[in-house]
Amino acid sequence: MTRPQFTATLLIASIGSAGFASLAHAQGDAGTPMVGAWELSNADRDKTCTINFKLDAAGAGRALEFQKGCAEAFPETRDIVAWVIDKDDTLRLMNAKGKAIFELTEVENGLFEPLRPSENLVFLQTQAAAQGRERTADAMFGDWALMRAGGKPMCQISLLDEAHDTESFDMKVKPGCDSLVTNFAPKSWRMDRGLLLVLSERSDPWRFEEEESGTWHRIPQGRQPLLLVRQ
């Protein structure tokens, strides 16, 4: 194994073992790992429901959106209007009065189960993991293009297999990038629960979620959707 490969392997292991403790402080952070699509399922996984976690304020927490059919699969979801991560790291899905309908705790990296064993056994995991397409860092090395939806590339970048620090990999930003990218000042990248995080010197990370087509889109999308496409 070469030195760069050894370094990358150690970094992948370190990042992959990151715990859930930081989530308790990230609820109001634009970089919270909960943002994006997650799948709620029963033990047999013959009942599933896709939930999109958002950062918009809703009731006593943050907004979420249920895919059509969720109420039929899980009637309890009819009353859920918000989510919150409490100081004890418990993820709570709440009704309009702030009462928890589901209380979940992370048992593995990116996999949640009920806080109390007596509750109905359900699982919550990222949609990418549920569909078997959750990427690890070693699948992301190489050249990529940042572009607007339906537009020309705004910037060419390379996701490198060299450690930037103990938590992220180096990246190379090629000359001629759009001001949106240069103002953001990307410096490094890492994977987090199937999402690609592009880290900045100046602001919160950009988070990208993979589509079924293999293209990655930034979440939340905002007014200017941003895509990441392999070259």
In the chain, what are the domains? Answer: 34-130 (2.40.128.10), 137-230 (2.40.128.10)
Contact 82, 63 (CB under 8 A): yes
- Kindly report whether the peptide bond that precedes residue 220 is cis, defined as omega within 30 degrees of 0: yes
pLDDT at residue 137 greater than cutoff 60: yes
pLDDT tens by residue, 75-108: 999 999 999 998 888 999 999 999 999 999 988 7
What do you get for the CA distance between the two ends of the chain, in Å? 26
- Highest mean pLDDT among 13-27, 72-86, 126-140, 215-229 belongs to 72-86
| Dihedral angle sign, alpha carbons of residues 138, 144, 147, 149 | negative
pTM score, two decimals? Answer: 0.56
The pLDDT value given to residue 119:
66
Give CA separation, 54 vs 67, 82, 123, 161, in Å. 14, 9, 19, 31
